[in-house]
Structure 1
């Protein structure tokens, strides 16, 4: 190297220090192609960096401060400013959604491990009268891992049929006719209510859901995830037991909100059980 080159370049130690990186991190980012040196001395193997790249080094350090994976860091570095900002915003929105979900899971585990202690404080249980409904129906056996795909798909199929009979008349709901967990597979039934007065010519599977009284609690989108959703079921069951209320039908999930547009903390679903008057 010439004297001029040495004046314009920084050693790895100085570059790491001024770039807010540890030497170990700088070596890692070199291997990953995120921050390769500008010059490697062929005689000594020493690596040198231009001072102008300190801004990139500091950006990487701050992105890693968000626990951003290296692959995502590489995506951000490859994008122009506005697009990079959008990618960071999208990444952080996903982190916040995951945090809300993890918080709900932690609460579920705390309740389960404490023998349901405090569950009555987590969920408000209410009662309501539900009128008789004519429902389009689709049923199958399913494990927990099947539900995230099957329930929306079945609901969409039934809503498409409902469109030919005046549209969806009330909130769709999912009935669990048997336990659904790692060892049991239901069966599970998706129901979409329609107006009986518009049912002429209906050939798709349908039935009448009897009028009933039900006990229910409302949960957020994050709480719908399995297994934390089980705490809501436990809460309603615990309330029924304490109140001496008889259960008269299987548990169900009533989806009253637009799932796609809902944020993790938005209320979207009622966990309900038909009960005696």
Structure 2
């Protein structure tokens, strides 16, 4: 049980508290934190008392801990989880500031994705088109035939982001080291729907310089891993360019809807499965940076 002693004195007379320490009540007032919050922060390792009386269990704090406590309170106002706060307050100077920057970048990315999702859901709930015609501009480009090394996998939408990152990473390393180098942006082909209920398959592809070397690399590892090396034929591509925030499922569906509706209006015909072309560095891109083309082959 903790004292909420209202005495401002920091000496130890009659309190069992070493001289120079603040009672939990005094410390709570100075930091504008409740005694309950201070006990929680102690259990979480965020703010450990300088002294705990062995008999009474009363907690006492150093005056210099006031600033740390106020920092913890401010970080909580950013909705930072307690575990992350604990990591930040263990750092000092620029490292702590850098950790805060990393956390806030993640918050902004999530907010950007949620804004896009709200727009998508607004269209669904209102009965209007989810394609958000004013958001995306459809363009056409001719894509030449391209040798690729690829990996195919059956998976649902929740598994997709991690798989895209890891599979393209594997294929890009192979292309650079075994297949003569990378000759274009990687892309993912959806041979069937990937959603919460449907598992595709999806095919991750990396353009390579040396098709024969790519085939040798695939043969060495065996086709059981879903690997292949092939020539992707030339095609005409209708596409929209989207930001990192818009890539997330299900809001990316609005981009696919836009392209499909445009193809129908223009009297064109899809000639192959839809795909995503990743032309930017995902790790360094911000939520509003363009990173991906959502596309259909057409004629």
Q: CA deviation at 1:43?
A: 7.7
Alpha carbons of 1:274 and 1:57: their partners in 2 closer, same or farther (altered >3 Å)?
Answer: same
Corresponding residue to 1:216 among 239, 255, 269: 239
The question of whether the paired residues in 2 share the 8 Å contact of 1:111 and 1:231 is answered with no
Matches within 5 A, 1:102-141: 102-115=114-127, 116=129, 119-141=132-154
Structure 1 unmatched runs, 5+: none
- Please, what TM-score do these two structures have when normalized by structure 1? 0.83
Structure 2 unmatched runs, 5+: 1-11, 219-227
Q: CA deviation at 1:269?
A: 0.9
Partner residue of 2:295? 272
- Please, what TM-score do these two structures have when normalized by structure 2? 0.78
Matches within 5 A, 1:148-163: 148-163=161-176
Partner residue of 1:101? 113
SS in 1 for 2:158: helix
Bigger mean CA deviation after superposition, 264-273 or 133-142: 133-142
Matches within 5 A, 1:44-193: 47-115=59-127, 116=129, 119-163=132-176, 164-193=178-207
Partner residue of 1:243? 266
Bigger mean CA deviation after superposition, 267-276 or 244-253: 244-253
Q: CA deviation at 1:119?
A: 0.5
Bigger mean CA deviation after superposition, 208-217 or 103-112: 103-112
The question of whether the paired residues in 2 share the 8 Å contact of 1:120 and 1:239 is answered with no
Within 2, Cα distance between the matches of 1:208 and 1:256? 20
Matches within 5 A, 1:8-19: 8-19=20-31
Corresponding residue to 1:2 among 5, 13, 37: 13
The RMSD of aligned alpha carbons is 2.9
SS in 2 for 1:91: helix
The question of whether the paired residues in 1 share the 8 Å contact of 2:131 and 2:257 is answered with no
Within 2, Cα distance between the matches of 1:177 and 1:33? 50
Within 1, Cα distance between the matches of 2:296 and 2:44? 54
Alpha carbons of 1:83 and 1:232: their partners in 2 closer, same or farther (altered >3 Å)?
Answer: same
